[in-house]
Structure 1
Amino acid sequence: MQLPTSYHPSNGRRSQPRSYVAAYLRRFLKPKQWDLEYTFWLMLQLCISPKTAYRHTAYHKQTKNQWARDDPAFIVVCCVLLAIASLAYCVVFGDSAWHAVLTVLSVVLVDFLLLGVAIATTCWVITNRFLRKRNLHHHQVEQHVEWLYAFDVHCNSYFPLFLLLYVLQFLLSPALLWRSFLSSALSNALYMIAFGVYHYMNFLGYSALPYLERTEVFLWPIGLMLLVLPFSVLSGFNPSIRALSFYFG
């Protein structure tokens, strides 16, 4: 699969050199070049001070002239953590080794990577087509959102969601899986917070780019979820039961 890089709405061309993307992909095979210390520091900042994490992104732009990370370590660590969490669920709720393999592959490849590619591409198109500042001063250079940066934003936003919906949900599963009003309300609140944090982190990621405007559109899904939340709770819908039923029947 060939991934887009950056986009010019005027001519549809890619401006980011393909050699950069090729070098980025090659680094997946060179673990010695991964900066794991920075990766774990970034994960910590995304939990306690996400604005600090994105301020560091601006420093990255100043030093390396690109917004996207040039290190795939964050993606690799996320995939490993997702695989471990999925295996923990399989040990408790699964029924066979083959089912566990399929579940882990589905969570890592589909839920995180393929869905992330779709979300990043959608945000990449929206930001470049509709959210870039048009009335620039004569000394300002027109800039475009890099596709790899859009995918970085997805990965950054997914990590807190992972902690809430994979780790915390697993720990609270005895309470969340009871068929009661309280369990349903608690599960809905957990999913609301998790996806609310995801969209808020998306907002922070794109608002960190000085050439974008109206980035508050990335907060709109939170408003929609707040409208739906009371109906979901009153109807007795339990997203934890529904999610685990999808994977484990």
Structure 2
Amino acid sequence: MPILPVLSSGSRVLTGGSDAGAGWTRLPPMFRRMLRFQHMDFELALWQLTYLCIAPRKVYKQVYYHKQTHNTWARNDPAMLILISASLACGCITWSVVYSLGPVGGIRLALVMVFRDFILTGLIVCSLLWRTAPGTVQTDPGNVEWAYAFDVHCNGFVPLFFLLYVIQLILVPVITQDKWICLLLGNLLYLIAFTQYFYITYLGYNALPFLIRTEVILLPLIPILTGFVASLLGYNIARKALTLYFGA
């Protein structure tokens, strides 16, 4: 049984409107339900946001149950996507105040953080992992859903958001100072954030029973850890990143 409704060749009408409708129905349910706020389970999404930061394994324990009840590994509720995007947009207000960006600068920053940092980067990363999944798959590669790959990115982005968009904001006066201990603190923040991202991504693919050798997803941690150790010689990652964003 297909996960998404598709039109049969006999029922397809060759008109522009029908083609657009067919394309819409092929979108993952999470994207087709973006405006149905009354049907979103924000309470569950908040629970998942919390546990992704403190005990991410608990979130993935529900994956198999979700597959059995909804016939899909991916979420069909966009509440998580909405909450992360809204949190980023709200965080931009504080960042704009700290760096005196003004209303226009704040809107531009929100667009960058939501659409580039979160969504566009997520589309690229999840598509790469989705395409390379056949290299670690035990049965049919088609069992790996693209929408699930995007779900995994959203999950991994949660602790990264908390560390780099919230905690880093609080620590800006400290981590930008010309002291080695401040450099260590800022660089450690980035190390933990990206380690958490790849670890949660690994958990997401490891939760699929038909995948093998999912530990290869953790390989990027080797250059990340190497880069962290090298940066302790005098490269302040946090200050360089903030300079790219705010020029200060």
| Pairwise same-fold verdict (TM > 0.5) | yes
Shift of residue 74 of structure 1?
Answer: 0.4
Equivalent residue for 1:144? Answer: 143
CA contact (8 A) 1:94 1:248 kept: no
- Give the corresponding residue for 1:226: 225
Instruction: Report the residue type matching 2:120 in the other structure.
Output: L
Q: CA deviation at 1:20?
A: 5.6
Q: CA deviation at 1:143?
A: 5.2
Q: Give the direction of change, closer, same or farther, for the CA distance of 1:64–1:20 in structure 2 (3 Å limit).
A: farther
Q: Who is 1:74 aligned against?
A: 80
Match of 2:242 in 1: 244
Bigger shift: 203-212 or 174-183? 174-183
Check conservation: 2:187, 2:236, Cα contact below 8 A. Answer: yes
Q: Tell me, in whole angstroms, the C-alpha distance in 1 between the residues paired with 2:187 and 2:28.
A: 42
**Which whole-Å CA distance do the structure 2 matches of 1:65 and 1:20 have between them?**
16
Aligned residue number for residue 131 of structure 1:
136
Is 1:42–1:53's contact at 8 Å kept on the other side of the alignment?
yes
* Correspondence for 1:43: 49
Q: Percent identity?
A: 38
Rate the CA distance shift 1:22–1:43 in 2: closer, same or farther, 3 A: closer
* Misfit runs of 4+, over 6 Å: none
Residue matched to 2:7: none
Indicate the structure whose relative CO is greater, using CA pairs within 8 Å and at least 6 residues apart: 1
Q: Distance in 2 between matches of 1:37 and 1:96?
A: 33
What is the CA distance between 1:25 and its match in structure 2? 2.7
Return the offset for 1:159: 0.3
1:25 is matched by which residue type in structure 2? F
Deviation of residue 146 (structure 1)?
A: 0.3
Instruction: List gaps (5 residues or longer) in structure 1.
Output: 6-16, 135-140
Worse overlay, 76-85 or 89-98: 89-98
Over residues 22-60 of structure 1, what are the superposed CA-to-partner deviations in whole Å (9 max), with x where a residue is unaligned? 643331111101110110111112122211100111110
The runs of 5 or more residues in structure 2 that have no matched partner are: 5-22
> Aligned letter for 1:147?
W
1:114 is aligned, of 120, 138, 142, to 120
Task: Report if the CA contact (8 A) 1:143-1:211 is conserved.
Answer: no
After superposition, the CA RMSD in angstroms is 1.8
Deviation at 1:241, TM superposition (A): 1.1
Number of matched residues? 226
Q: Which residue of 2 aligns with 1:10?
A: none
Q: Distance in 1 between matches of 2:31 and 2:210?
A: 27
- Alpha-carbon spacing, 1:114–1:174, altered in 2? closer, same or farther (3 Å): same
